[in-house]
A and B are shown apart, each in its own frame.
Chain A
Amino acid sequence: MNAVLPATADVVVVGGGIVGTAVARQLARDGLRTVLLERGAFGGAVSGASLACLGTHMHNLDELGVLVDACRMWKELSDGLGDPFEYHHCGQLRFIMREADIAVAQRWIASERAFGLPPELLEPEAVRKIEPLLTGPIVAASWSPGDATVNPFLAVRALLGDGRRHGLTAFHSVPVLGLLEDGDAVVGVRTAKGNVSAPHVVLAAGPWSARLAADAGITIPVTPRQAQCLASVRQPPTLRTVIGACESMGGVESGYTQIQQAKSGQILFNTVVAPEATRPDSENRINEVPLRFVRDSIRMLGTLFPSLIDILLLRSWVRFEAVSPDDRFLTGNLVRPGLMIAAGDNGTGFCRAPFMAELISRMVRRLDPGPFAALYDPARFAELRP
C-alpha cells in the first residue's frame, strides 16, 4: 500500500492502539482534519493483547465517575456501531481466598455503593449459582454485575472504521521518527514517508510515547511494564463472567488474576504473583512469557476451576503496559504548545479510552474539558509543568 501522507492536518495522532484510535475517531467526528499514524498494525501492541474488561469494580475510587462514563460510552459505541466487537455484558466476580480479605472487599463495595453502583459480597454458594464451575476453595467473592468485555481487536477495527467514515485518514506501517518544532511549539511530525504539519500532535503511543516526548526535551514518567496472558483451545460455553482476584492491599497470594472466556470459546487467563522487572527500553517485539508465570497461572486456574485442569493450552502472549507513578493516564497538554498526550494505561486503560478521546477532543477545540480533566493533567507531575 502506497502511503501518501497529507502534508497538513488539524491534528496528528501518534499510535494506533485503542487509545489513539479512539482519540482520532473522536476528533474526526468532531470535525477536525485528523491523521492517525501507527508504526505497525492497528491494535497490534498492548490493545490487542488486552483482556478488555469494562467495569467500575475495584479501580481507583477517584476515577469512579470517569469509569461510569466510560462504560456507558462503550455500550453506546456497541449499540451505535451495530455490535461489531462482541460486547458481552457478563459481570465480574472477584474471588477471595483469605478471610482477612473479606473486609477489604467490603470496603470497596461500600465505596462503590455509596457512588450508586451495585456490587455485592457473595457466599461461595451464591457464587456458584453465577459461575457453576468455580468450585475451588474461595471464602467469598464480590460481584459487580455491570461489568462487560469486548473483543479488543475488533474494537480497534470498529473505531478505526467509524473514524474513517467521518473523514479520518489513518496509516499503518508509518513510524513517527520525530517531532517538527518551531521555536517552543510542536508543529507536526516527521516520518520516513514525509512530514505532516499540524498545530496539534497527540502522543498516544503507550510506553513509547516517552521516546517521542524525549525528542521534544520532555521526560514523561511513563515506563513499560511487561504483562502476559495465556489462552486455551476453544471450549464449549464454560465460564460466564470475568473472574478476578480481590484487589488486596499488600497480600499477593492470589496475585493479580484475570480469567474469562472469549466469544471464540477460548479461555484467557493470567495470574501474576511477582511482577517481572521490565527494562525501560523494552520494545514491542514479542518476548517469551516467563515460565514461572505459566505455572502460576495454570495453578490458579486449576485451583479455582478444578474441572479445567486438563484443557489444552494453545497460546501465550506478552504485552507492554504503560505505567505512570500514580496509576493514572496522562491526558492533556504536554508542556509545549501544540503537544498533547494520552498515554498511561496502567493495565486498565482499555475501558477509559473513549473517555480520554472525549477529553482530548474538547481540549483541542478549547471547550471545557469537564471536572475530571485535572485527574489526568500531565502537569500534576512537577517535571511536566510548562
Chain B
Amino acid sequence: MTAAALRCDVMVLGAGPAGMAAAAAARETGAEVICVDLFATPGGQYHMQPPAPGGPFGATSQVVEGRAAEARCRDLGVRFLEQTEVFWAEPGFTLFANQAGSPVAIRSDAVVVASGAMERAIPFKGWTLPGVMTAGGAQRLIKASNAAPGRNVVLAGSGPFLLAVANTFGTAGLKLDFYVEMRRPRLSALSLLARNPGRLAEASKLLLGLRRSGARVLTGHQVVEALGDGRLEAVRIAPLDAAGRPRMQHSYTVENIDALCVGYGFRPVIDVTSLLHAAHHFDDALGGWVCSVDETQATTVPGLFAAGETTGIGGAVPARLGGRLAGLHAAGFTGRRVGEGELVALRRQLQGACTFAAGLARLFPFPGHLVEQLGEDETVCRCEDVKISDIGEAIRDGAVDAFSVKMWTRAGMGPCQGRICGTALSEIIARRLGRKSWDMGYNRPHMPLRPVPLAVAEAALGLKAELEEG
C-alpha cells in the first residue's frame, strides 16, 4: 500500500472521451492536470482498448482515436491515475480515492466530472440467471477481453447502443443469433437523419453491420423471460401490441441460448456532483437525474465542472466537445488564459450535437413501465435478494419512499449501493403510491461513494493533513 498525496490545478474524473478532452484542454493552458479512471487503461467505455495491439478492433476508429487521445494527453503532461476510484470528496476540492488498494488524496482547485454513465437497469423475469448480462457488459467482454458472451446469443432491449453492440459482435466475428428491439422503426428516425446528414453514414454503417452479424432482427418485440435452472438456457420473446405491451399468447421460447445481453439505456453517474451539492435536474430522455451545467459546463458549485454523460446521455460527440469546453473553463477558473474564439465555436458545435442526441433519445423513451410486468416473485434488488412481494408488503405497512422501503426490505443496502435497483425501485414505488418516479428521491451519497477497504479509507483520509501543510 503506497500512499499518494497529490496536488493539481484541474482534476478530471474519468478518462473517456469527455475526460480526456477535458484533461488535454486544461493541460494546453499550462494547468497541472490529474485524470483518474477506474480501469487499467484510459478510454472509458467508448474508447475501450483491446488487450493487445491488433486484433479485430485494433483498427477501429474508436480504438485508434482513443489511443491518440491518450497519447496526446500523455505528451502534454497529463498525469493519469489508473485503477483509481474516488470514494469521497470535499468542497474546495479534496478528493479521496482507492488506487488498486493504495490510498490517494488529491487536492485540486477545479474539478471536471466526466465519470460517464452506468446501466439504467430494469428487472425482468429470470434476469438474475448467470448468462444474463448487460449489453455494455457484453461489449466489454468482447472488445477488452477477446471473450465471447456465449455461443448462442440474444441481444435485446432498446436504443442506439444496442446497434453498436450488435456491430461489436460482427466485427469480432462472433455469431449473434437474435437482435430484439422493443421499438418499431419510425418515420421520425428518418427525419432525424435527414436533419443531420452528417450522421447518415454512421447510421448506415451500423445498420449494415447489424445485417452482417447474421442475427435474426425483431423490432417491436421484447424479451419477457430468461429461463434456465441455475444458468441461462432459453429465452422467451413476445411481440408488442400498439400500446407497447407484450402479447403473451404470441410469445415463443428460443432454446439453447447461453447468453442474453440486455440494454435499455444509460443513466449518468452523479455521485461526486451530488455529494458536492451541485444542482441536478430530471430529464427522462437523457437518462434520469442529470447534472445541470451552464454554457461553460460549470455546475452550480464554483470550480466544479461536468461534461459527457454526466450532463445527459448523448454519446461521444457531445462528450468530446463538452469535455474540451469544461477543461478550458476549468483551467480558466484556476487563472489560466483561454481563447474566447474557440469557446464560441465549441459551444455552437456542442449545441448541434446535443440537439441530435436529444432527438435520438426521444426515439427510444425509457420503458419504465416494464416494472409493471414483474410478478410478485421477481427479484428487484439483486444484492439483497429483495422481491416485488417484499416491497409490496413494506408499502402496505407504511413505507412511503425509497428510503423507507430500503429500511424495511434492505433493497438498496447492498454493495452496489442501490445503483442497479434504484431505477426500478423508483418506478415501482411511484406507481404504487400514485406519484412520479423522479419524486421518489435519488440515492443521497454517503461516505463512502463506493465500497473501499477499511485500511485504504483510513489511510487516504489521513493524507488530508499532509495536503493541508504547505
Give the interface of A toward B (CB within 8 A).
1, 40-44, 48, 153-154, 157, 160-161, 170, 172-173, 232-234, 264, 286, 288-289, 291, 294-295, 298-299, 301-302, 308-317
A309 to B407, CA, bound (A): 27
Which A residue's beta carbon lies closest to that of B401? A41
A310–B408 touching, CB < 8 Å? no
Q: Is the CB of B408 within 8 A of A1?
A: no
A1 contacts which chain B residues (CB < 8 A)?
Answer: 400, 433
Give the distance in Å from the alpha carbon of A302 to the alpha carbon of B462 in the complex.
15
- Given A153-B407, A313-B457, A264 and B413 contact (CB-CB distance below 8 Å): yes
Instruction: Tell me, in angstroms, the Cα distance from A42 to B407 when the chains sit together.
Output: 10
Given A153-B408, A172-B398, A288-B446, decide whether A312 and B417 contact each other with a Cβ distance below 8 A. Answer: no
Residues of B within 8 A of A311 (CB): 453-454
B444 at the A interface (CB under 8 A): yes
Given known contacts A160-B398, A291-B464, A302-B454, is B448 in contact with A316 (CB within 8 Å)? yes
Query: CB-CB contacts of B435-459 with A at 8 A, as 1s and 0s?
Result: 0000000001011100111110110
Q: List 16 A-B contacts (CB under 8 A).
A: A1-B400, A42-B398, A153-B408, A160-B397, A172-B400, A172-B404, A233-B415, A295-B458, A298-B455, A302-B454, A311-B454, A312-B451, A312-B452, A316-B446, A316-B448, A317-B446
**Contact status B444-A314, CB under 8 Å:** no
In Å, the complex CA distance between A313 and B448 comes to 7
Other-chain residue from A170, A232, A294 in contact with B458 (beta carbon distance below 8 A): A294
Q: Is there contact, CB below 8 Å, between A161 and B397?
A: yes
With CB as the reference atom, state the residue of chain A lying closest to B395: A1
**Are A312 and B453 in contact, with the CB atoms below 8 A?**
yes
- Among A44, A153, A291, the residue within 8 A (CB) of B461 is A291
Please indicate the chain A residues that have their CB under 8 angstroms from the CB of B447 in the complex: 288-289, 291, 294, 313, 316
Give the interface SS of chain A, mostly helix, strand, loop or mixed. mixed
Contact A314 B433 (CB under 8 A): no
> How far apart are B100's CB and chain A's nearest CB, in angstroms?
13
Chain A positions within 8 Å of B452 at CB level: 312-313
Partner pick for A310 among B397, B404, B454, CB 8 A cutoff: B454
Q: Hey, which chain B residues are within 8 Å of A41, CB to CB?
A: 398-401, 403-404, 407
Known: A41-B404, A43-B407, A173-B400. A308 touches B446 (CB 8 A): no
Nearest to A154 among chain B residues (CB) is B408
Once A41-B403, A302-B455 are accepted as A-B contacts, the answer to whether A312 and B462 lie under 8 Å apart by CB is no
Query: Are the CB atoms of B397 and A157 closer together than 8 Å?
Result: yes
Inter-chain CA distance A288–B448, complex, in Å, is: 10
Residues from chain B with Cβ under 8 Å of A161 in the complex: 397
B245 at the interface (CB under 8 A from A): no
Residues of A within 8 A of B444 (CB): 286
Shortest CB-to-CB span from A187 to chain B, Å, is 27
CA separation between A302 and B456, bound complex, in Å?
12
B454 near A232 (CB under 8 angstroms)?
A: yes
- Residues A170 and B408 in contact in the complex (CB < 8 Å), given A309-B454, A316-B446: no
Closest to B88 in A: A291
Identity of the chain A residue whose Cβ is nearest the Cβ of B457 in the assembled complex: A313
Q: Which residues of B contact A317 (CB under 8 A)?
A: 446
Additional A-B contact list (19), CB under 8 Å, known A153-B407, A314-B451, A316-B447: A1-B433, A41-B401, A157-B398, A160-B398, A161-B397, A170-B398, A264-B384, A264-B413, A288-B446, A288-B447, A291-B461, A295-B461, A302-B454, A302-B458, A309-B453, A310-B454, A310-B455, A313-B457, A316-B448
Shortest Cβ distance from B384 into A: residue: A264
A316 and B88 alpha carbons, distance in the complex (Å)? 12
Q: How far is the CB of A43 from chain B (nearest CB, A)?
A: 6
Q: Are B446 and A286 in contact (CB under 8 A)?
A: yes
Tell me whether B212 is interfacial, beta carbon within 8 Å: no
Alpha-carbon distance between A289 and B398 when the two chains are bound, in angstroms: 28
Residues of A within 8 A of B410 (CB): 264
A260 CB → nearest B CB, Å: 16
The listed residue (B400, B403, B413, B462) touching A315 by CB distance below 8 A is: B413
A44 touches B403 (CB 8 A): yes
**Cα distance A315–B412 in the bound complex, in angstroms:** 11
Partner of A157, one of B408, B448, B454: B408
- Distance in Å: Cβ of A321 to nearest Cβ of chain B: 18
Whether the pair B397, A44 counts as a contact (CB closer than 8 A) is no
Which B residues between 326 and 384 are near A, CB-CB below 8 angstroms?
Answer: 384
Instruction: Report whether A315 and B407 are in contact in the complex, using a CB–CB cutoff of 8 Å.
Output: no
Chain B residues in 8 Å Cβ range of A48 = 407
A298:B404 contact, CB within 8 angstroms: no
Evaluate whether A310 and B448 lie within 8 angstroms (CB atoms) in the complex, with A41-B401, A41-B403 already known.
no
Within 8 Å CB of A298, what residues of B?
A: 454-455, 457-458
The distance from the CB of B411 to the nearest CB of chain A, in whole angstroms, is: 12
**7 smallest beta-carbon distances between A and B, as pairs:** A41-B404, A312-B451, A298-B458, A153-B407, A316-B447, A309-B455, A298-B454
Contacts of B446 in A (CB 8 A): 286, 288-289, 315-317
User: Would A308 and B454 count as touching, CB distance under 8 A?
Assistant: yes
Give the docked Cα–Cα distance between A49 and B451 (Å): 20
* Pairwise interchain contact A314-B462, C-beta atoms closer than 8 A: no
Chain B residue numbers with a CB within 8 Å of A42 are 398, 404
Which of A294, A301, A313, A316: most chain B CB closer than 10 A?
A: A313
